[in-house]
Amino acid sequence: MFEQTSEDQQVSYTDIESVKVSFDVAQCDGDSLYTYLPNWLNSLKDDELQSPPMSSHIFQKYIRQSHLETSMSNSIRKMALNEDRLFTIDDFEFGRPLGKGAFGIVYLARLKKTKFICALKILHKSKINEYSMAEQVKIETESGFKLNHPLILTMYDVFHDEKRFYFMLEYAPHGQLYRFLQKLRRFTNRLAASYIYQICHALEYCHSKSIIHRDLKPENILVDCCGNLKLADFGWSTKIRHADTMNTTACGTLDYLAPEIVGHKQYQYQIDNWCVGVLAYELLSGHAPFEGTDDETKIKIATINYIFPDYFSQLARKFIDNLLQKDPKKRISLLDCIAHDWLQKNAYKYMFGPYKCPIYVNMDE
Active site (annotated) includes residue 215? yes
Scored b (16 or more CB within 10 A) or e, 110-121 reads bbeeeebbbbbb
User: CA-to-CA distance for 275 and 88, rounded, in angstroms?
Assistant: 37
> Strands, E, within the chain: which ranges?
2-4, 11-14, 20-23, 92-101, 104-111, 117-124, 155-160, 164-169, 211-212, 221-223, 229-231, 238-239, 360-361
Active-site position among 91, 215, 233, 272: 215
* Ordered structural domains, the chain, with CATH: 71-171 (3.30.200.20), 177-346 (1.10.510.10)
pLDDT tier, 75 (very low <50, low <70, confident <90, very high otherwise): low
pLDDT tens-digit readout, 178-209: 998 999 999 999 999 999 999 999 999 999 99
- In percent, how much of the chain has pLDDT > 70? 69
Is residue 141 exposed (0-12), middle (13-18) or buried (19+ Cβ within 10 Å)?
A: middle
Winning range, highest mean pLDDT, from 3-7, 252-256, 260-264, 324-328: 324-328
Give me the residues paired with residue 4 across strands: 99
Long-range CB pairs of 315-322 (<8 Å, 24+ gap) are 315/340, 315/341, 315/342, 315/345, 315/346, 316/189, 316/192, 316/193, 316/280, 316/284, 316/342, 318/342, 319/196, 319/277, 319/280, 319/343, 320/277, 320/280, 320/281, 320/289, 322/277
pTM, two decimal places: 0.76
- 23 pLDDT higher than 60: no
Interhelix angle 314-323/270-285, nearest 10 degrees? 150
